[in-house]
């Protein structure tokens, strides 16, 4: 019986350590995303993130157009789009329209997300 109780405590400890690592990682990722967000005066091609409950892709499309931008392409997530706006303050207008933030397109590229495990992309032909 003592072995079973000791094994149970070991599992609880392992789960506690795993939960702590996940909480730490989530906090660091939240901080990194806040720091990576573009300032409100920026414009050009950006990746914009709207809240998950913002609406369907049509609502995101209309919000981007209302901010003076052009939707370029969507993503796997209906609330994340690559968009373009030529006028200064485009990012600020996106935030006013309900976006959580806008980021440089390279922030979400597969190479930067893969870190040490990603391979360089082949040259365009």
Q: How many helices (H) and strands (E) does the chain have?
A: 4, 4
In this predicted model, what pLDDT tens digit does every residue of 39-56 receive, in sequence order? 999 999 999 999 988 878
Q: How confident is the model at residue 125 (pLDDT cuts 50, 70, 90)?
A: low
Q: Which pairs from 2-10 meet CB under 8 Å and 24+ separation?
A: none
Tell me, yes or no, if the pTM score tops 0.95.
Answer: no
The pLDDT of residue 118 is above 80 = no
Residue 1 has pLDDT above 50, yes or no: no
pLDDT for 68-100, tens place per residue?
A: 999 998 888 888 899 999 999 999 999 999 999
- pLDDT value, residue 92: 96
Nearest to 13 by CA among 25, 28, 21: 21
């Amino acid at each position: 019986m003592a072995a079973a109780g000791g094994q149970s405590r070991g599992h609880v400890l392992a789960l506690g350590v795993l939960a702590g690592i996940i909480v730490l990682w989530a906090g660091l990722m939240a901080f990194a995303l806040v720091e990576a967000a573009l300032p409100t005066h920026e414009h050009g091609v950006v990746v914009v993130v709207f809240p998950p409950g913002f609406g369907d892709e049509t609502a995101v499309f209309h919000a981007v157009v209302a901010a003076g931008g052009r939707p370029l392409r969507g993503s796997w997530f209906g609330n994340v789009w690559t968009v373009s706006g030529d006028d200064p303050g485009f990012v600020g207008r996106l935030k006013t329209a309900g976006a959580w933030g806008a980021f440089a397109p390279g922030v979400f590229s597969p190479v930067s997300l893969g870190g040490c495990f990603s391979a360089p992309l082949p040259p365009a032909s």
